[in-house]
Copies of this chain bind each other. A is one copy, B any other.
Amino acid sequence: MSFELVMDADEVADYVSEVFPQSDNFGFYVTDLSPGLIRVRMPVNESHLRPGGTVSGPSMFGLADCAAYLIILAHVGKVALAVTTNLNINFLSKPDGDLVSEARLLKLGKRLAVCDISIFLEKDHRLVAHATATYSIPPKS
């Protein structure tokens, strides 16, 4: 499947703060965007830490969901507001540093989009979580 972007990284970045109000707190930042692929960086701060210094599950869920949402947005545009219908996440190892989320489009249909998301530690590229997510794309009105 070949994919075509309809927004560039700056347009997507501008849109982030709008849709993910918490993204500013989280410091989510789009570092790469190309057809079918996005990378979103999350610098770790106190708000998403658990005792022991690991990043909380909800924070990683939020990062995976955000990256997947943005890669879909970049391919379908703002007209349609995609809604998460399913997210399956595997936690693989304890993260102890800034994270990078890499989301790839597996499918972009008229009604459903499916993404594969890997979350890495930025410092050594160790994989800490992996998710797949499905989004419902409402009909254009």
Q: Which residues of A contact B (CB under 8 A)?
A: 1, 18-19, 21-22, 50-51, 56-59, 61-62, 65, 83-93, 106-107, 111-112, 114, 116, 126-127, 130, 132, 134, 136
Contact = CB atoms under 8 A, between A and B. Distances in A.
A93 B106 CA distance: 10
Contact of A88 (B19, B21, B87): B87
Given A18-B51, A58-B65, A86-B88, 16 more contacts: A1-B126, A22-B56, A56-B62, A57-B87, A58-B61, A61-B61, A83-B91, A85-B91, A85-B112, A87-B88, A88-B88, A90-B106, A106-B127, A116-B130, A130-B132, A134-B134
A40 to B, nearest CB: 14
A22 B87 CA distance: 22
Contacts of A136: 111-112
